[in-house]
Amino acid sequence: MENTATLRADNANLRKIQAKLVQWELKENPLAPLSSAQTDFINRLSDLASGNVAPNGETPADAVEKSSEPTEELPASLEQFKQSACVIDSTQNFLSWYNSIDAEILEHFDDVYLEYYEQLRSRAGECDQMLKEIDVSLESLGKLTQEFNFVSEKTSSLHEASESLLQDQTKLSDTGEEIRKRLKYFTQAESISQRLHNPTFSVSNDTFVDILNTIDDCIEYMRVNPNFSEASAYSVKYRTCLAKATQMMKTYVTNILSNATAQVMAPKGSGAPKSLEALEQPKVGDRSAEAAFALFYGKFQASSSRVQRITAMIEERLDRSPDYEQLLGELHQTYLTQRAAIMSTGVDQAIKDLAKKHKGDHCALVRSACAFMVHISQDEHRLFYQFFAKPSGQLLGYMEGLCTILYDTLRPYIIRIDHLETLAEICSILKVEMLDEHVTYSPDSLEAFAKIVYQLLQDVQERIGFRAQNYLESDIRNYKPSAGDLAYPEKLEMMESIALSLQDNSHHYHHNPHQHLRRADSRSSITSGVSMDTSLDAPAGPTAEHTLKVRSGNSPADLHGMWYPTVRRTLVCLSRLYRCIDKSIFQSLSQQALTHCIHSVSSAAAQIAQSRTTIDGELFEIKHLLILREQIAPFRVDFTAKETSLDFSKVRTAAYELLQKRKQLFSLGSNNALLEFLLDGTPQVREQLLDSRKDVDRQLKTVCETFIRDATRQLVGPVLTFIESAQGYVKNQPNTGKTGATGGAASGGAVGQSTGMALRMAPFAAPQQISSIIQECLRNIKSKLSGLQRSMQLYLANKDTEFILFRPIRNNIIGAFVKLEQILLLNAYTKDDLTIVSCPSAEQISVLLSSVNLAGSGTSDPTVAAFGKTQTTDAQRKISTSSIGSGGSTKAPIEKKVSFDSGANTVVEIERIEVVGESVGETEVEQGREVLVADQDRLVGEENTEAKSIGVEAERA
């Protein structure tokens, strides 16, 4: 097997050698390139080796050819023959010689081959020798291969052994390193303990941080590996070292803070400030403020860098051990204790000094004290974060303690303040200036201050609510008006005369609108005020027109000082309370205030009505209710208050039924009386919503209806009295139903005619008596209507408001005469009677009202003319019921529409329907009676609707 392997190896080597030899003469990139001369020489050697070329360069064929041809050597042989002693003297000799020559020739002919043979044999010997040497070499190579394989095996095993040893060495080294690393956590305990107990070792030393890191790492290692030998014992040792280190840091920081506190508490020099008051709003160049700040804050700021180095080191390690959290909390407590010892007394003394400085001025005291605490809070917050980087809950407690001094000082002053305006201003200072401005921009530093101020604000609001209730009871509900408060309309007339005199004196300044008299406060009306005071800016004209413009533009009642005191106090009180207290409390107080104010105004109106006229009292109440409603409109709150009560009505009913069912008290069925009493007799809880705005509107509507009714009765009272008497008389007549006075049909003619004759025969219904009543009413209209409008202008001073109130009065006046005319037509009055009565028609009354308006105003103002809109042709007509028989026409107003477009000018449209008659016969009278009754019903319905909706129309306008 070994020989076979050796042969295979030899063959492989030979193939490799042959391959290498072939690569010697490659055309491209040969391993051993030869020159052309070297190539020719090698070719010649190869030819000689193959026998194709003789040593002299000739091939064997060439040599044979040369031997067959005569050569120049023959003469030489001949010469040799001649020179020889051989004598050819016979044929035998010749033949012998010839044979010798021939043998010689033959011998010489084979010389080339022999020589070539010898060369080949020498080459063969050389090859044999080379083969022997090759065999020896192969044998040597075989031995060398065996030795190489042996050495390779030994070397491989040596390498494997070396690698194994290296691995073992590395593993042992790693194990040793791990052991050293783990032993490090155990071997450092003694050295750390010795260094910490060294008296010369200080926290300020640079190596202290490394020691803390080592202690933390060792404690963490012991915690992670509790199963190691003596891990618990060494953990105790390291925790002891940590406790020693934390105690050293605490002592170090405490000493620094104590020294700073001692320097502040016992300052050197007599010029040191004694109080913190100088810090309140310091001025530029104020040396006292600078000295106070340097004293109370400069010493601590100088020490902050040393302490901050320690606290930063502690705060970085809070997640490593709870001991650091405890230490940081103790340092916070120590710092805040030192600061409290300094600041508590100083803040207390400073606030007391401010209280002495602003004695009697509570608003200035609250503002200055709160501003002082804002500065203190911000400075303390800033100073704290110069020592510590993380927030602390103890800081909030410390700041609350300082701010509590402010609360304890200001609260006694607040609970003794009785003036609502002062309380409202204090509330505004606390809420707007402090909470909304300062606290909003610095919420972190003023958190404690905000809590204390909020508590103080709640106390102020509580005091405001208490004082507001007392104020509403004493100054509004129980207000006793003086004679000057009830001097209406004298006060208004006096103010109007003053305004006219001032405007006359400033007539030459009419080009400058700002020089004219204007309303001082608000323009109370139920509209948007289209025609407020534009006429004041125009140049002065005629006296009547000038007076009208003044009246139509300004009202003395609009001046804030001319308001009734309870109205003014109510609105001022509500305006003060609106931004001071919570909405729920404000809603309750506003409901009480408006209720008391309405009651007070109604009481004052009743007194004015007793001392002056009913119209003055009602206009006074209307004006002030309008002012009240206008002024409470801007309050963006709900004036609704919920009132809860118990309803015991069912208890009484159930008790009565129980007495009725005494026999069923112990019944075992479903009709048990006692059970029914328990179920049905439970008191019910009822909730009622009280809306102050609606109360104002409701009262305004009621007063307007009363004013319209009283104004109508003042102008046409006799006619209304006659109508009521006539209707009552007719109803009291026997055999009368709803016919007759109330518009019966033609079928009841006999009964209605007898009843009408009875009314005609009554003394109070005589034509002459009715005529005197009508004439008296016409005189009242001509004499009193202008005074009524004058009062409306004086109190209301608003065209739209005056028109809205006058419109139903006008309709009532026209309706009264229409009703009177109906009664005359329905109660058998003859033509002569109607002529004597001379009852004016609706058109005539309308023309009369318009003419009185124009005569009273002295101008053709379109708004005034709107009170009695008519045409010239209507004014020229003199049509009455007495002209029916002559073919005249009676026009009764049936429908009147008023449109309001956001306070725009009011437009009145009157539609009329003609009733034509040819004679005064029964048929014509009955037809006219039916038409007039229908007109009466429509007018009555319109009057009631207008009177009830006056408040709604006013609100729309």
> What's the pLDDT at 457?
92
User: Distance between CA atoms of 548 and 790, rounded to whole angstroms?
Assistant: 10
Long-range contacts of 261-269 (CB under 8 A, 24+ apart): 261/338, 261/341, 261/342, 263/299, 264/295, 264/296, 264/299, 264/300, 264/342, 265/341, 265/342, 267/295
> What's the pLDDT at 681?
61
Residue for token pair 């105690």: 247
- Judged on CB neighbours under 10 Å (0-12, 13-18, 19+), 754 is middle
- Are the CB atoms for 311 and 264 separated by under 8 Å? no
Distance of CA 98 to the CA centre of its chain: 151
- Are the CB atoms for 863 and 803 separated by under 8 Å? yes
User: Distance between CA atoms of 170 and 621, rounded to whole angstroms?
Assistant: 111
User: Distance between CA atoms of 1 and 9, rounded to whole angstroms?
Assistant: 12
H/E element holding 894?
A: strand 889-899
- Are the CB atoms for 516 and 891 separated by under 8 Å? no
684-691/889-899 β-pairing? unpaired
What angle is formed at CA 631 by the lines to CA 801 and CA 437, rounded to 5 degrees? 155
Cα–Cα distances in angstroms (integers) from residue 744 to residues 130, 655, 666, 930, 933, in the given order: 173, 51, 63, 8, 9
User: Distance between CA atoms of 272 and 292, rounded to whole angstroms?
Assistant: 7
Distance of CA 190 to the CA centre of its chain: 63
Which tokens hold the place of 868? 């009695």
Instruction: List 913's β-bridge partners, or say none.
Output: 892
3-state secondary structure of 27: coil
The alpha carbon dihedral of 659, 664, 666, 670 has a sign of negative
User: Distance between CA atoms of 850 and 847, rounded to whole angstroms?
Assistant: 5
Contacts of residue 633, defined as CB under 8 A and 6 or more positions apart, other chains included, come to none
Task: Please state the pTM of the whole predicted model.
Answer: 0.60
- Are the CB atoms for 618 and 707 separated by under 8 Å? yes
Q: What is the CB-side half-sphere exposure of residue 536 using CA atoms within 13 A? A: 23
- Are the CB atoms for 512 and 547 separated by under 8 Å? no
> What's the pLDDT at 375?
92
The string of pLDDT tens digits covering residues 780-838 is 899 998 899 899 988 888 888 899 999 999 999 999 999 998 888 888 788 888 888 88
R_g (Cα) of the chain, nearest Å? 68
3-state secondary structure of 35: coil
Q: Mean pLDDT of residues grouped by 10 in the chain (957 residues)? A: 72 78 73 75 73 55 50 54 67 77 75 85 92 92 92 92 92 88 84 87 86 89 87 89 90 92 70 50 49 80 89 89 90 92 90 90 92 92 91 90 92 90 90 88 90 92 90 90 88 85 65 41 33 31 35 53 87 87 84 90 92 91 91 73 58 68 62 65 58 83 93 91 88 59 40 59 85 91 90 88 91 92 85 87 88 61 40 34 33 33 30 29 39 44 43 39
Which runs of consecutive H residues, i.e. helices, occur in 733-881?
Answer: 749-761, 767-795, 799-826, 831-837, 842-857, 862-865, 872-876
- Are the CB atoms for 816 and 719 separated by under 8 Å? yes
> What's the pLDDT at 679?
62
Which runs of consecutive H residues, i.e. helices, occur in 733-766?
Answer: 749-761
- Are the CB atoms for 714 and 747 separated by under 8 Å? no
> What's the pLDDT at 767?
87
User: Distance between CA atoms of 58 and 115, rounded to whole angstroms?
Assistant: 13
CB atoms within 10 A of CB 24: 11
Nearest to 244 by CA among 206, 200, 204, 192: 192
The string of pLDDT tens digits covering residues 665-723 is 666 556 676 666 666 666 665 655 556 678 888 999 999 999 999 999 999 999 999 99
> What's the pLDDT at 138?
92
User: Distance between CA atoms of 198 and 244, rounded to whole angstroms?
Assistant: 11
User: Distance between CA atoms of 278 and 705, rounded to whole angstroms?
Assistant: 67
